[in-house]
Structure 1
């Protein structure tokens, strides 16, 4: 099996330093270099997220790492960023004419039905989770590898796994064996 592509997902709650500084650190990685960075910052207001997005865009462009904005499609359009992650509720609201602007339009799915709906809505990538036990979803049982396999079988899109994923080659092989084309890693990247 080949190496599983990894996407870093930002999270200020698990990061011991400011996100702009952490993204700069990720951009300089040689080993464990992420394929892309999803700029998730739920605690920031629109103005603060815009400032962070501009800083992240500069760091990612300098390193040749694609930046994927989270939730704010208008900002992505304004900044010329062609990659966007929208929660499914926001994907449902995205005007059809805006979807063509994005070369990567991902959404999170938590059931096979959501995966099928997301594909019909024009998503180009699905992020399926959570697969393993994770502190981010404390108290919630993971959906597991059977769920991942079912989602991958139900759609023709790229599916990335999320939830409890670290830098473990055996875990990555398990994800690939169940259909994942990549994985999203949050906590492990935020602690590097």
Structure 2
């Protein structure tokens, strides 16, 4: 069964951000990665504290700020690859994810304790304007190179998810969705449409 992961982007959110996150947490998303990379550490701490109140810690994965995660007692972290390579205190976390952009990155991540990886960008996306998608062959190569869960990221919606249905399920765990969930009102429908395409 392939999973859907929500990656937040407050600047893209239509409506109240905390309310949106609360509603997303009640859908069938596997988890929510609070990826607000333009915030300072203090701003991120305040937001993460508020998000924890509305959706609980079970589905929440913090991004980049390891000290914030430790302060809030959240033992799941997602790191940019450069930060993942520098992470010293891995014992603070039960789940450590990282973003990869090559099979070499993926292999390194697995060897160095990543619990899962996100691979992208698979399709063109407004979040990375002008950057061509790496495509399904890239995703398949990443999945074949490791033995940990791999999530596709970049330009994912129900239409593009159709193209992922043929990816060999060896380690392909699902997709990460950002803009679609930040901007949609029909959250449960969008999540289920994607999951249906990936079945």
Aligned to 2:35: 40
Aligned to 2:183: 191
Under a length normalisation based on structure 1, what TM-score does the superposition of the two structures give? Answer: 0.87
Deviation of the 1:74 alpha carbon: 1.2
Q: When the two structures are aligned, how many residues end up with a matched partner?
A: 183
How does 1:90-169 map onto structure 2 within 5 Å? Answer: 90-95=83-88, 98-168=89-159
Cα RMSD after superposing both structures: 1.9
5+ residue gaps, structure 1: none
Deviation of the 1:177 alpha carbon: 5.1
5+ residue gaps, structure 2: 185-199
Deviation of the 1:170 alpha carbon: 2.2
Query: Structure 1 residues 174, 14: CA separation in 2 closer, same or farther (over 3 Å shift)?
Result: farther
Matched residue of 1:13: which SS?
helix
Deviation of the 1:178 alpha carbon: 7.6
Query: Structure 1 residues 18, 50: CA separation in 2 closer, same or farther (over 3 Å shift)?
Result: farther
Under a length normalisation based on structure 2, what TM-score does the superposition of the two structures give? Answer: 0.84
Query: Structure 1 residues 176, 10: CA separation in 2 closer, same or farther (over 3 Å shift)?
Result: farther
Aligned to 2:4: 6
